[in-house]
Structure 1
Amino acid sequence: MTVNGQFPGPTLEVRNGDTLIIKATNRGRYNITLHWHGVRQMRSPWADGPEFVTQCPIRPGQTYTYRFTIEDQEGTLWWHAHSKWLRATVYGALVIYPKLGSSYPFRRPAKEFPVLLGEWWNRDPMQVLQQSMVTGAAPNVSDAYTINGQPGDLYPCSSQDTTIFPVRAGETFLLRIINAALNQQLFFSIANHQMTVVEADAVYTKPFTTNVVMIGPGQTTNVLVTANQPPGRYYMAATAYASAPNVAYDNTTTTAILEYQRGGSSRPVLPQLPVWNDTNTAKAFTARFRSLSRGEVPTRIDENLFFTINLGQINCSRPSFRCQAPNNTRFTASMNNVSFSLPTRNSILQAMYQNTPGVFTTDFPPVPPVQFDYTGNVSRGLWTPVSGTKLYRLKFGSHVQIILQNTNIVTVEDHPMHLHGYHFYVVGSGQGNFNPKTDPARFNLVDPPFRNTVGTTPGGWVAIRFVADNPGVWLMHCHLDVHIGWGLAMAFLVENGVGELQTLEPPPLDLPQC
C-alpha cells in the first residue's frame, strides 16, 4: 500500500502551534489506521491511531479525518500505519518548524533533507506476516534496506535510482534521519564526514559530534553536516545493528550518495560501519544524549512501576493461537508475563468512553508476578505468558517511573520501546538486573534526554519518568513490529483531571465503527 501513490508517503511540513486536519481514505485492500508518531496529542487520543486501541480500523472504501494540534513541539517526527505490517510501505516524515519569529537553537543550515530509513520485502509484507502466523516461526527477514524508498546501488536492482543529496562545498546542511524500518535497529554513517547531533524525537539536545548514528525503529535524529571534504561523491550508508545472538537479520547495506556540485562521477567512497553486533558502539552513542535544558524532571514519584520485557513461546493448541509448527509452539512476547491481546469488537478507547464492559481490564501488574534472575539462566517454566487486554490505570497528574528490565527469556535484545501520547525522561540505564537500592543514586535528574522511544539495554535495564497529564488510553509497545504482533505491549488508562482542559474530548462523529 502507498499514500497518494508515493513511497515513502508525503512529507508534512508544519509549524509549532498548527492544527492539522488530515483526511484518510482507504482505497487499498487491507484495513488500516495512521499514527502520528511522537505527537503529544493533548485531549485528542482519538487521532492517535493504533488499531483497536484508540480507534477501529478504516476499512476499504471508508474515510476518517484525523484532527490534532502541535503543542510546544518542533523538530522531526513522522507518521505511519499502525495496522499489522502495513507500516513497511505506509510512512512519511512530519517536519515541525519553529513558530514564525522563532529560530533553531543553532545556526540555520543552508539545506535540509529528510532521510527515511526503511525495509523492503520482494513480496507483500502482509503475506510474510501471515506465513509466520501459520508456521509459528519468526517471519522472513527483509530483502533490502532503503533510504527514501531506494535500496541503493550495492543491490542489483536500483543502480539507476539511488537517492542523491546534492550539496555545495563549504555549506552546512541538516539531515532529518528517521528509522522507519519495520524490525531493525540501524547504524548510519557518511563517508569521510562527521555529524553533529542536535535533536532527537523532536527535542533539541546538547550538540555532540559522531561518525556513526545508531537509531532504532520509531526514533528520529537530526544531525548537522558540513561539506568540508574535497568535492566528490560520498556514500551515506545504513546497515543492521542486531543485538540478539543467533537471531536472523537482513545482513545488507543500503546507500545514498552525498554529491558535491562539480564533484564528478567517480565511484563514491563507502564509510566504515560498525559490525552488526557492536553493542558497545550502540550504547556509547546513546549514552551521549543530554537535554538542552533542565526541563521538569519528576523527582516525586507517585507510581513506581517495574516492567519486564520478555520473549517466549506459547502452545498453538490454545484458543486464538493457530499455527502448524512441527513442535506445536509459536513465538510470543510479553510485559510482566502478560502478552497483550487486541480486542476485535471495539477499540479500547471507545469502550472506556462508553463504559462498555468485557473489552479490557485494568489489572496489568505493576511488577512481575514472579521475581527471578531476569538476565541469568531463566527456567523454561517462565517462558509461557498469559494473554489478555490488560491496562494500568493512572490518576491525572501522577508522576510515573518505569524500570524497563530486559530478560534472558529466549534471548536478550535491544527492544525500542515507544510510549504513545507522551515524551519521557530517560534518567538511567545499566547492565544486569536493576538494583533499587544502589542504581537510583546514579540517575541523571539534571539534563536527561527527553524521548518518545528508548532502547532497552541488551541484558540490562533503562529507567524512564513522565507526568501523566494527557487523559485517554495510550499504548506502550516494542517498535519492532514482529514483537508487537507477538504481544510485547501494554496500555495506560490515564484518568481525567479537573476542568475542560484536563478532560478527554468526545469522539469525532466520523470515528470508524467496528
Structure 2
Amino acid sequence: MRTVSVIIFSILASLVAAETHTWYFNTTWVTANPDGVFERQVIGFNNSWPLPTLRVTTGDTVNLYLTNGFKDANTTLHFHGLFQNGTNQMDGPEMVTQCPIAPGDTFLYNFTVTDQVGTFWYHSHTAGQYGDGMRGLFIIEEKQKSDYPFEFDEEVTLSIGDWYHKDANVLKPKFLSRYNPTGAEPVPQNSLFNDTRNATWNVKPDTTYYMRICNVGGFASQYLFMEDHEFEVVEVDGIYVQPNVTNMLYITTAQRYGVLIHTKNDTSKNYAFMNLFDDTMFDVIPDDLVLNSTNTIVYDKSLSKASEYKVDDLEFLDDFYLRPMTNETLMADADHTITIDVSMENLGNGVNYAFFNNITYTTPKVPVLGTVLSSGELATNAYIYGNTHSIVLQKDEVVDIVLNNHDAGRHPFHLHGHVFQLIARGEESEVDIDYDPANVTLPQYPMARDTVFVYPHSYIVMRFKADNPGVWMFHCHIEWHLEQGLAILLIEAPEEMQKTESQQFTENHKQVCKNVGVNYTGNAAGNSVNFMDLTGANVQEKPLPDGFTARGIVALVFSTIAGILGMIAISFYGMADIKDIDERVMRDMNVELSDSEESAELHDMGEASSSSSPAK
C-alpha cells in the first residue's frame, strides 16, 4: 500500500510541477546591424531582434501563437529536435506537416514536451527565412538542478552562425538560376557569435560553466576553440554523453553541444575564444572575409581584449566516438534499409538541383500529413505523395538509412521526430566510397543525435526505431541544399496516425489552410476523389539532353553573353554616324585591309591629324 501511495504522490507532484508556457509572437521586419559592418532588415518577433531564448522544463506544455506580420510572404515555425510525439502537425515544415501561415493569420503551436531535456532551437521552415534572422534557442531544463548528471555553477548559451548582407529573397533567385549552373552557394559576409562580432564573455574565476552551443547558421560549419581552455562535452543534440575533453569542436549548421568550461583561478589575463569558418565549403573566398573571428573570455575588464589565437592544425572532436550516458547498446538488425545516394546535377532548365537517388524533392499541393489523414487505406501507398520521395515505414520497425555521398562537399543531415544511432561513417575521400557492411565493425554503444555530417565522397549509416508515428523529413540542413531538393519524407505508421485524435488537424489549423487557399485533404495533386490520379501534381524539371553537363551550360551561358555583346556592338556601329565605318569594323574584327584601303585610311588619319594640330 505504501508503494502505491508513493507512486500516486510522484504522479501528482509531476503534474503540479508542470507548467504551461504561453507566448504571442508577431513576425516583423526589424533594422539591425549584427556584424557591425552593414545595416539591414532582419526578421524579428514583436519588433525585436535577436529572437528570445525560450525555456521550458521537461513535462511542460507550450502554447505559442505565431502571427504572420509579413505583407507578402507566408511563414512557419519548426522546433528543431523536438519529437512532437502525437502532435506531428506542430512540427512545422511548410506543406509537409502544416499549411503555410498567410499574412495576417495566426497559427497556434500547442504541444507538451515529454521525455526530452537539453539544447534545442526553433526556426522558420519556410524558404530561407531563418537565414534572415528568424531563429532562436529553445532550452528544455531538468526539473531540478540535481537532476543533471554533471555538476556546474552557472549556465550560459552561445549561438554561432553565418550572416549575409542580402536577404533570401535576393539570394535565392540568383542561386537557383541557370546563370549559376555549378550550384555555387552564396558565400556569407561574416560569422556571428551570439548575434554579434568581437563578443566578450565575462567570467568568474574558478567557476564551472555549462555552455549550450548551437550553430543557427544556414550554410557554413564552424570550428570553435579557446586559448588555454578546454571543452568538456557532456551533451549532444539533447542526448547526455559520457564526458569527453577536447580542445576543438566542429559544429555544422543545426548541431548542438553542451560543454563544461572551467575557468582559471587567476585574473591576470583575458583569453581568446575563436570561431573559424570551414572555408572548404566555399567555392570562392572573398579577400575581405574574416575566417578566424576573435572573441574574448574576460577575467578583468580593465585589461585589453584578446588578440587573434591561431592553431597549427584542425584536430576536432569526432562525435562518432561519443558514448551516450545511458550506455544504450546498438539496436537489433534493421527490418527496413533505406539506401540513398547524394548527387548534384542540372536539369533541363539549366538549374543545379540536389538529389537522393535521382529524385529532387518537389513541394506537393496538399500538406503530406493532410494526405495521410484523408487517404484511408491508400496512405501506405507512397505513390499518392507524388514527387516528395516519400517512404512508408511500419510501426516499431528498426530502420537503417544508408547514405552514400557522391558529392565533393560535407553535408549535415537532420532527421525530424527522432534521434538516430550513428553506426558507420566513412572517411573523407576524393573518389566515391559507398558503404560496404562487410568491411565495417559496428559499435557496441553508438553515439546518438539528430544531426550529423557526412564527409565528401563517403558515407554514413544511421539506425533508429520507427516508434513515433508521423510524417518526418530527413534532409540536408544547409538551407541552400534543401532549396535544391535534398530531402526525403518518412511516412511512419500512417494507419495509426489516422486513428489518433491528437494527430488530426486542429480547427485552427484547418482555418489557416482555408485562409491561405491550400487544401488539407487529397493527394499530392490536390485530388481527393481519386487518390491514384496525380494529374496536375508538381513534378521535378525534365532532365538535360544526354551528354549535356554543367560545364556545357557554363559554355553556353558565356557564349550567349558573348553573342549578346556582339549584337550590341553591331547595333552601335550600325546606328552610329561614324566616318569610314566599314574599315573600322574590319579592323576590329581582325580582317586584313588591302594595300589601297590601308593607304586611304592612313591618308584620312593624316588629314585629321593635320587639321587638329596647332599652327607652328
Contact 2:476–2:482 (Cα < 8 Å) also in 1 = yes
Distance verdict in 2 for CA 1:217–1:396, change over 3 Å = same
Letter in 1 for 2:193: I
Q: What is the 5 A alignment of 1:251-400? A: 252-260=291-299, 262-273=300-311, 281-282=315-316, 285-295=318-328, 297-316=330-349, 329-343=350-364, 345-355=365-375, 362=382, 388-400=387-399
Contact 2:373–2:498 (Cα < 8 Å) also in 1 = no
C-alpha separation between the residues in 2 aligned to 1:419 and 1:82? Answer: 14
Q: Tell me the residue number matched to 1:438.
A: 438
Distance verdict in 2 for CA 1:229–1:363, change over 3 Å = farther
| Structure with bigger gyration radius | 2
Q: Deviations over 1:157-187 (max 9, x none)?
A: xxxxxx3221111111111110011111111
Specify the SS of the correspondent of 1:57.
Answer: coil
Q: Tell me the residue number matched to 2:270.
A: 233
Letter in 2 for 1:301: A
Specify the SS of the correspondent of 1:2.
Answer: strand
Per-residue deviation at 1:499?
Answer: 9.7
Q: Provide the identity percentage.
A: 26
Per-residue deviation at 1:501?
Answer: 9.5
**Are positions 1:90 and 2:90 aligned together?**
no
- Residue in structure 2 matching 1:116, options 149, 159, 170: 159
Contact 2:368–2:471 (Cα < 8 Å) also in 1 = yes
Per-residue deviation at 1:211?
Answer: 1.1
Q: Deviations over 1:366-424 (max 9, x none)?
A: xxxxxxxxxxxxxxxxxxxxx9222000011111011111114xxx2211000111111
**Are positions 1:4 and 2:4 aligned together?**
no
Contact 1:76–1:95 (Cα < 8 Å) also in 2 = yes
C-alpha separation between the residues in 1 aligned to 2:245 and 2:487? Answer: 34
Per mean C-alpha deviation after superposition, the further-off stretch among 204-213 and 355-364 is 355-364
C-alpha separation between the residues in 1 aligned to 2:210 and 2:295? Answer: 15
C-alpha separation between the residues in 2 aligned to 1:229 and 1:43? Answer: 49
C-alpha separation between the residues in 2 aligned to 1:489 and 1:16? Answer: 30
Per-residue deviation at 1:502?
Answer: 6.9
Contact 1:361–1:389 (Cα < 8 Å) also in 2 = no
Specify the SS of the correspondent of 1:401.
Answer: strand
Per-residue deviation at 1:293?
Answer: 2.0
Contact 2:497–2:503 (Cα < 8 Å) also in 1 = no
- Residue in structure 2 matching 1:151, options 183, 188, 197: 197
Note the residue ranges of structure 1 that are not aligned, 5 or more in a row: 153-162, 317-328, 366-386
Q: TM-score, normalised by structure 2?
A: 0.70
Q: Tell me the residue number matched to 1:32.
A: 75
Count of residues paired in the alignment: 458
Distance verdict in 2 for CA 1:485–1:254, change over 3 Å = same
Contact 2:210–2:261 (Cα < 8 Å) also in 1 = yes
Per-residue deviation at 1:360?
Answer: 12
C-alpha separation between the residues in 1 aligned to 2:79 and 2:186? Answer: 27
C-alpha separation between the residues in 2 aligned to 1:49 and 1:106? Answer: 33
Q: What is the 5 A alignment of 1:30-179? A: 30-88=73-131, 89-100=133-144, 102-107=146-151, 109-137=152-180, 138-152=184-198, 163-179=199-215
Per mean C-alpha deviation after superposition, the further-off stretch among 137-146 and 195-204 is 137-146
C-alpha separation between the residues in 2 aligned to 1:263 and 1:192? Answer: 19
Greater helix content: 2
C-alpha separation between the residues in 1 aligned to 2:312 and 2:483? Answer: 29
Q: Tell me the residue number matched to 2:472.
A: 474
CA RMSD of aligned residues (A): 2.7
C-alpha separation between the residues in 1 aligned to 2:474 and 2:179? Answer: 24
Distance verdict in 2 for CA 1:421–1:306, change over 3 Å = same
C-alpha separation between the residues in 1 aligned to 2:362 and 2:376? Answer: 17
Contact 1:348–1:359 (Cα < 8 Å) also in 2 = no
Per mean C-alpha deviation after superposition, the further-off stretch among 355-364 and 289-298 is 355-364
Per-residue deviation at 1:296?
Answer: 5.4
Specify the SS of the correspondent of 2:171.
Answer: helix
Specify the SS of the correspondent of 1:13.
Answer: strand
Higher relative contact order (CA 8 A, sep 6+): 1
C-alpha separation between the residues in 1 aligned to 2:69 and 2:425? Answer: 44
Per-residue deviation at 1:494?
Answer: 0.7
Q: Tell me the residue number matched to 1:370.
A: none
Distance verdict in 2 for CA 1:13–1:364, change over 3 Å = same
Letter in 2 for 1:182: G
Specify the SS of the correspondent of 2:272.
Answer: strand
Greater strand content: 1
Per-residue deviation at 1:3?
Answer: 2.0
Per-residue deviation at 1:359?
Answer: 12
Distance verdict in 2 for CA 1:499–1:358, change over 3 Å = closer
Contact 1:136–1:331 (Cα < 8 Å) also in 2 = no
**Are positions 1:495 and 2:533 aligned together?**
no
Distance verdict in 2 for CA 1:247–1:304, change over 3 Å = farther
Q: Tell me the residue number matched to 2:604.
A: none
Per-residue deviation at 1:355?
Answer: 2.2
Specify the SS of the correspondent of 2:45.
Answer: coil
Q: Deviations over 1:466-494 (max 9, x none)?
A: 01111121111000000000010010101
C-alpha separation between the residues in 1 aligned to 2:343 and 2:281? Answer: 13
Distance verdict in 2 for CA 1:239–1:5, change over 3 Å = farther
Contact 1:294–1:447 (Cα < 8 Å) also in 2 = yes
Q: Deviations over 1:186-213 (max 9, x none)?
A: 1111222111111010111111111111
